[in-house]
Every structure is written in structure tokens, then in C-alpha cells.
Amino acid sequence: MINLLHLTDLHLSANRADAPEKRALLREIAGMLTSFPRPVSAVIVSGDLTDTGDLASYALLHEMVAEFSMPVLLALGNHDRRESFRAVFAREGTPDAPCLERCDLGAVQVLVLDTLVPGRVSGALGPEQLQWLVKTLSEAPEKPSLLVLHHPPRLDPKALRWASLDDRSTAALAEAITGYRVLGILAGHIHLDRMALWQGVPVITNVGLHYAVDPLAGNGLKMVESLGFGVIRLVDKTLSALWTRLRPVPSGRGEVPLELLSSYP
């Protein structure tokens, strides 16, 4: 089994009043991992790491992710800035080049893409990224892969355009992964706990660590006070996603001991 912690949309701002709260939140999450029944192999943060992309916020984030003892994979979102991110996290490449990363976890490889388009809320994947993706997938065609990107593919042609990759990038991504063992796509941006099947691939998002969107609201966008994360589990060839809410703190209804649970027929 492989367990992955899926965080998203931290929207960290070093100069905002809630920065200490965000730092305490990540420390709380890191502490929770010690009580997980099985160890977490990696932490994935699928974009909007900061709110304005400033150096001070990335410096604070760099300190915060040190709370985790396992690899932390960071994707960029529309609120991020490549030049500032590269300067703090010492990433190679020219200041405006996409930030791409591959992490081999043994049974699965995680490929991090960069959907940031400066000045736009929606996302895109350029030729450079798609070429890197195809090349990386083709180097180990039988190896299962998970993709990480901030903007999910465009699922509904009638949906608001800013809520996903653009149409061209969605079609290009579908073509790029055809024929490879892509088990799932971990995304963010929409502040919803959601799993959608796209091209036969589950696209998984969660509400994130800034606010949640009410999926039952009518017109417009209704933001609600709720924070959470996801746990991605890979057992043999089966991928599952579990969602956990941190705020408001869930109220308890009692516990059943494992010994009793194991005794049930």
C-alpha cells in the first residue's frame, strides 16, 4: 500500500494576519501523520501555495514544509509566481519556465505539472510541458503514474472557463496520456471535494486549506468556512481517495475498538 497526503490551495501570505494560523495548521497536519495506520510516502500540494507569489511567503512556506519528514511535492497554481518560487526552493531553469518534477515512489511515479498562466485565473499546458510529460511516461511505459496539476481538465464545456484548463490543453493532455498507465490526477483550484472520471482517469480534488465552495449553491460562488485534505491510497491496482475535514472540527459520536470491529462476521 502507498499512502499520499493531498493538500491544496494553501494561499499562504506571510504579511497577512492568518499566517500564524496557517503555520499552525500545517504543523497540526504533520502531527496527525504519526497516528495514521500506515505511513505516508509523500505529501502533495497541488497549487496556489501562496496568495500573491511574493518571496516572503515562499520563504515561510519553505520553513513550514520542513515539518514533514517525507518528500513534499509542490505544484504551482494561478496565485503563484515561478520566479519567486524558484528563488526560494532553488529550482533549476529560467525564471519563467514551467516548474516540473518527477518523484519515484517505487510502485508508482508522481509527475508534477505547472498549469500557471501569468495574469489568468484559468490554466494551460504548453508544448514544453506536454513534451516532458510524454517523454517521462515513455521512459517507463508500464509504470503506474499519478499526475499533479493545479487546474483540473475541463470536464463540462458549459462550465465557467476559469475553473479548469483551457479546451486546447484538456485535449492535448488527453492525447498525451493515451496508452500509458495513468492511475489518477490530483488537482485543486475549485475548493471542492470531488472525484470525476475523465478519459477513464479519476480526477481528484479537495476543499483545500483556505476556504470551501458550497456545491449546492445556486447562481454565483458561495464560499464557506471549511478546511480539509485528502488521503490517496494505492493498493495493488486499486486507487481510492478519502477526504477529511479539519475545520469546523468534527464532533465525536464515540469509538468502536478494533478488536470488536474485527470480530464482526
**SS3 assignment, position 188:** coil
pLDDT at residue 200, rounded to an integer = 95
Task: Please say whether the beta carbons of 108 and 142 come within 8 A.
Answer: no
Q: Which three cell numbers stand for residue 178?
A: 493515451
**Can you give the length of the chain in residues?**
265
What percentage of residues in the chain have a pLDDT greater than 90? Answer: 81
**Residue 76 has what DSSP assignment?**
-
**Backbone CA torsion sign across 69, 70, 71, 74:** negative
CA–CA distance, 261 with 6 (Å, rounded to integer): 28
CA–CA distance, 171 with 107 (Å, rounded to integer): 28
pLDDT, tens digit, 9 for 90 and up, residues 230-254? 999 999 878 999 999 998 876 676 7
Mean pLDDT of 37-43: 93
Confidence band for 221, pLDDT divided at 50, 70 and 90: confident
pTM greater than the 0.85 cutoff: yes
Beta strands 2-7 and 40-46 are parallel
**SS3 assignment, position 25:** helix
- Averaged pLDDT score across all residues of the chain: 93
pLDDT, tens digit, 9 for 90 and up, residues 106-153? 889 999 999 999 999 999 999 999 999 999 999 999 999 999 999 999
> What fold does the segment set 2-263 form as a domain?
Purple Acid Phosphatase; chain A, domain 2 (3.60.21)
Beta strands 72-75 and 212-213 are unpaired
pLDDT at residue 255, rounded to an integer = 80
Confidence band for 190, pLDDT divided at 50, 70 and 90: very high
